[in-house]
Amino acid sequence: MKLQRMNRRALTLGALAVSSALALTACGSDDTGSKTNESGAATSAAAAGDIKCDDAKGQLLADGSSAQKNAIDAWVKAFTQACDGVQINYKGGGSGAGVTAFTQGQVAFAGSDSALKPEEVTASKEICTGGQGIDLPMVGGPIAVAFNVPGVDNLVLDAPTLAKIFDSKITNWNDKAIAALNPDAKLPDLKIQAFHRSDESGTTDNFTKYLIATTPENWKYEGGKAWQAKGGQAASGSSGVAQQVKQTSGAIGYMELSYAKDAGVVAIDTGASAPVQASSEGATKAIADAEVVGTGKDLALKINYATKADGAYPITLVTYEIVCDKGNKADTLPATKAFLRYIASEDGQAVLSGIDYAPIPADIIAKVRTTVDELS
């Protein structure tokens, strides 16, 4: 089915959250701490008002998507302030690492920017006694294409040009294809330094799904979490790519918008009436055009990467929290349910827009809440 746009109340909460944006420090694949500044603490505290701890206690271990790490950090801060008997350790080692840790029974839940594959669902049945792993969409977000080009503050690119840049077919910033999209820019005679993820990443999976969907003649790779194109340079985690773009003249790379604070961000020419900037609002519009393709309690989504709707930002991902529908460990189930219930709540979702993520549309997040309540 097609998703409906978020209701007015959810949009209003998201807009209010923007005013208290968190300047969270980007966290790499080995970073297990929660980092916020003063405004982050204020936002988390404000969102903690209606947290229900129930019987939550002990330590929760989790791993996965670095894309959602900044959101998880904000949520963990608020939740653990309200529920002081719980510790949550989320290691944002990438979606691939998170799914592996989950199917091996090492974590209570995992974060992944790609839904479980059939073989991963099968593997999950070994640790979900009487059940299986399911995908719960919890965080939306634009994948920003960040750049560092001296003298260029604004840059427009389209899918064919992006594909050629990341496939080493366009190698210089004053290339005629880039110039045609940016007639007013003073593009330097400078080599392009394209950065991609070195680890298996749902961000890579979604970025390349966009290229496959919109310009298959220029992106002939099958896609997936592992980078497949030739050339370019690699860095670990979204924070690693962001750091390389920040410090390298001529660099370009893909990352979640929350990591792109210190670089220029490309506007995407989708064929809409105007190029689309990466934004929380644009990502939510794109997610609202997605289809639910999961079955049963699984709520995996299929995003329309080729959308031409005005204001819809096409390079958008959804991060899923992966958890057992049945057969969760008894010692971690109460804390898992309490934390997931909070992050799916109106208060939890309201935090997202203020830290450059996108809330999940209202009708889908309502189903997530119901599913969380039924976990056993």
What is the number of domains present in the chain? 2
Q: Is the pLDDT of residue 48 over 60?
A: no
User: At 302, phi and psi to the nearest 5?
Assistant: -115, 115
* Per-residue pLDDT, 262: 83
The whole domain housing 213 covers 143-281
Do 233 and 339 lie in a common domain? Answer: no
Do 233 and 133 lie in a common domain? Answer: no
Query: Does some domain include residue 289?
Result: no
Query: Does some domain include residue 290?
Result: no
Inter-residue contact 120 to 324 (CB < 8 Å): no
Inter-residue contact 316 to 141 (CB < 8 Å): yes
Do 189 and 121 lie in a common domain? Answer: no
Do 62 and 94 lie in a common domain? Answer: yes
Inter-residue contact 182 to 268 (CB < 8 Å): no
User: At 256, phi and psi to the nearest 5?
Assistant: -65, 150
* Per-residue pLDDT, 326: 97
* Per-residue pLDDT, 49: 57
* Per-residue pLDDT, 224: 93
Do 53 and 114 lie in a common domain? Answer: yes
Query: Does some domain include residue 181?
Result: yes
Query: Does some domain include residue 49?
Result: yes
Strands (DSSP E) contained in 118-273 are: 133-148, 156-158, 193-197, 233-235, 251-256, 264-265, 267-269
Strands (DSSP E) contained in the chain are: 58-64, 86-91, 109-112, 133-148, 156-158, 193-197, 233-235, 251-256, 264-265, 267-269, 291-292, 301-302, 316-324
Indicate the residue among 220, 251, 281 that finishes a domain: 281
* Per-residue pLDDT, 10: 39
Task: Report the pLDDT averaged over residues 252-275.
Answer: 94
CB atoms within 10 A of CB 93: 26
Do 110 and 89 lie in a common domain? Answer: yes
Do 251 and 328 lie in a common domain? Answer: no
Query: Does some domain include residue 311?
Result: no
Query: Does some domain include residue 368?
Result: yes
User: Amino acid identity of 82?
Assistant: A
Instruction: Give the highest mean pLDDT range of 35-44, 257-266, 286-295, 336-345.
Output: 336-345
Question: Which long-range contacts (C-beta less than 8 Å, at least 24 apart) are formed by 6-10?
Answer: 6/284, 6/288, 6/359, 6/361, 6/362, 7/362, 9/346, 10/346, 10/349, 10/350, 10/359, 10/361, 10/362
Average pLDDT, the chain: 88
Q: Hey, which residues does 59 pair with through a beta bridge?
A: 87
Query: Does some domain include residue 298?
Result: no
Do 130 and 185 lie in a common domain? Answer: no
Left (φ > 0), alpha (ψ -120 to 50) or beta: where does 59 sit? beta
Do 262 and 195 lie in a common domain? Answer: yes
Indicate the residue among 281, 302, 337 that finishes a domain: 281
Residue 356 sits in a domain of what CATH number?
Answer: 3.40.190.10
Indicate the residue among 233, 256, 281 that finishes a domain: 281
For the chain, the first-to-last Cα distance in angstroms comes to 27
pLDDT tier, 8 (very low <50, low <70, confident <90, very high otherwise): very low
Do 258 and 342 lie in a common domain? Answer: no
Q: Is the pLDDT of residue 1 over 80?
A: no
Do 24 and 122 lie in a common domain? Answer: yes
Do 212 and 326 lie in a common domain? Answer: no
Q: Could you read off the pLDDT of 70-123 as tens digits, one per residue?
A: 999 999 999 999 999 999 999 999 999 999 999 999 999 999 999 999 999 999
Burial environment of residue 125 by CB neighbours within 10 A (0 to 12, 13 to 18, 19 or more): middle
Q: Could you read off the pLDDT of 203-218 as tens digits, one per residue?
A: 999 999 999 999 999 9
Query: Does some domain include residue 305?
Result: no
Please give the angle made by the CA atoms of 179, 274 and 174, to the nearest 5 degrees. 10
